[in-house]
Structure 1
């Protein structure tokens, strides 16, 4: 079943967003023969054509299930599947249970990738896009972090840890600002180049200050506590991957989990939510942190690191790094507007951070 490797596939105007190449559908048929399931139908739910991954919903004689083709290296996927098993079987977390094959395996390797079947949780519904919903998401995230502590991956899995990588990722952001500047100068005739040049210095300065603050914080002593002490971050947690279901909030799509300081997930969730609001709202930020803290208590050291991670120009970097792949396409009028929005939103960030800076020192 494993004579060739599944690679990315092209989407064009003749395909649709749920397109999966025929050879992968054929492999899916073969994979499913390893399960004691009678499959009535199969429907593509989502694809990752650029990486070679997909999820199907399958209707079976024992209820709906999901079939997943994981796009990462098999040893990396073993890490996340081990985590999913640990969370369900050891910790009783609201995470979909993995269905074993006829001979008791958690996954099948085919086409150089791992495939697995899991329970399809029904009904699932996103929480409301308001402060109450945001608090539910944060509380569920805190629960998830607590339950993921103590996870030890299977021996054949590679260890996915971002725990010691913060300084490197901060340094990368500082360095990439130079690249942004160089590209804007090289394409100075493009509509967004001047807007980018107008702001890149101040964002680079923010990133440099964040790096200094990180190096002066208790970061290294927290890292020394080790992977299992901290547990896992989801890395892609938000309104679609945390949903309300039977008996409470469920967390799905765990294939990117890695060891890290838990506040990284919280920071991403809050910064992303503020970007959607186009404003850093002090009440939202404070209440989201409190809801998280209720489920997973924050120490003053972790809180300080959360503040430092907020201080990085995260949204600017995340949105502008596209310029590195196609300057001619990216540096257009739309990007001029995008930069203006990011700058406007960023201005409300600092008063908000100043106001909540000392909340955990009291």
Structure 2
């Protein structure tokens, strides 16, 4: 164990020597989820050194996107290059990046004004991402033209989990799952069929042409408030995908926390986004189709039938699926009224 600690310290010292800073002190901050971060006090301010268990060529891709957003003026922690100009430092199966440590206030989900600002920030992110040209040799990640495959895989898994549930009908989770799975499968099939239509195909081609990307998961834990505005304190990953991916993930996540789909809040948040990065009615249809697909229902059943959350009790799983069903059920009215909601979004009113 001591030998491992010594080897890690030697590696960190070697990495830090590659940067144009005089290091004064190093403090280990966090070790979790394949990421280790250190606070590094230097002659040019406090930095964050992050080690991530991803392939160096993937981190190269992410770090270049970070720098691209920074150069486009998006408020985020500046990333630093090594003395020799490297955007990250690679090892066999992991990589390091360094960026400024930035202090600010926590942004919480249960504050409407802050959420509106976050939606505007996401819009700024999507605009700033355009024109990104990755260096040849970086390992990109893309979901463009892959939604059909993902939807089919999730629907197949739902069908498989349905067969498992039929053999465990005494189980309260399976009873709830079976009471709702057919409706979820039907919604998923309708969403899958919609991907064959022009709105999705056109937006995919436009995104390919403009080189834009999305964050994948805009969790508020990565954002802080600086000077009353959102600021990205750390940057984990990106993928080439439609902007609606980020909107769908955040809206679903927020409504799951509220345990109900709030139509007015959803409209208000989309107005905030649209005030910075206006979308067409066709593009909103793609978002509606993605919201129709039962991503949350697929996720909780995937966790349960694969026993992924070993620390979760049966009661917690039961609460989780009840919550997801409540959100998906209350979402129906929202999904059925795109034309009128689109008009309301375009009225603004911020």
TM-score (norm 2): 0.88
> Pick from 76, 83, 86: which aligns with 1:95?
76
1:211-259: CA deviation from partner (whole Å, max 9, x where unpaired): 1222235211222234251511011212212322257321243331111
Paired residue for 2:291? 310
Does structure 1 residue 74 correspond to structure 2 residue 53? no
Following superposition, the deviation at residue 317 of structure 1 comes to 1.5
**8 A Cα contact 1:66 1:118, kept in partner:** yes
1:300-341: CA deviation from partner (whole Å, max 9, x where unpaired): 111111111111112111222113432896782332232222
Gaps of 5+ in 1: 1-19
* Cα pair distance change 1:247/1:38, threshold 3 Å: farther
Gaps of 5+ in 2: none
Distance 1:217 1:360 in 2: 18
**8 A Cα contact 2:48 2:98, kept in partner:** yes
1:118-165: CA deviation from partner (whole Å, max 9, x where unpaired): 111223532563211111110000001001101010111123221211
* Cα pair distance change 1:294/1:156, threshold 3 Å: same
1:105-126: CA deviation from partner (whole Å, max 9, x where unpaired): 2221234322111111223532
Range 254-263 or range 324-333, more displaced: 324-333
* Cα pair distance change 1:165/1:328, threshold 3 Å: closer
Paired residue for 1:56? 38
Paired residue for 2:188? 207
**8 A Cα contact 2:57 2:137, kept in partner:** yes
1:5-154 pair list within 5 angstroms: 23-49=7-33, 52-89=34-71, 91-126=72-107, 129-154=110-135
**8 A Cα contact 1:191 1:331, kept in partner:** no
* SS across alignment from 1:37: coil
* Cα pair distance change 1:189/1:21, threshold 3 Å: farther
Distance 2:97 2:191 in 1: 41
Range 110-119 or range 331-340, more displaced: 331-340
Distance 2:9 2:271 in 1: 46
Distance 1:274 1:94 in 2: 26
Distance 2:227 2:10 in 1: 34
Following superposition, the deviation at residue 179 of structure 1 comes to 2.1
* Cα pair distance change 1:356/1:134, threshold 3 Å: farther
Distance 2:308 2:24 in 1: 47
Range 345-354 or range 303-312, more displaced: 345-354
* SS across alignment from 1:163: coil
* Cα pair distance change 1:182/1:138, threshold 3 Å: same
Distance 1:203 1:47 in 2: 38
Range 20-29 or range 76-85, more displaced: 20-29
Does structure 1 residue 264 correspond to structure 2 residue 245? yes
* SS across alignment from 1:42: strand
Following superposition, the deviation at residue 22 of structure 1 comes to 5.7
Higher helix share: 2
**8 A Cα contact 2:213 2:238, kept in partner:** yes
Count of matched residue pairs = 340
TM-score (norm 1): 0.86
1:78-114: CA deviation from partner (whole Å, max 9, x where unpaired): 111111111113x122122222222232221234322
* Cα pair distance change 1:128/1:214, threshold 3 Å: closer
Range 323-332 or range 40-49, more displaced: 323-332
Paired residue for 1:8? none
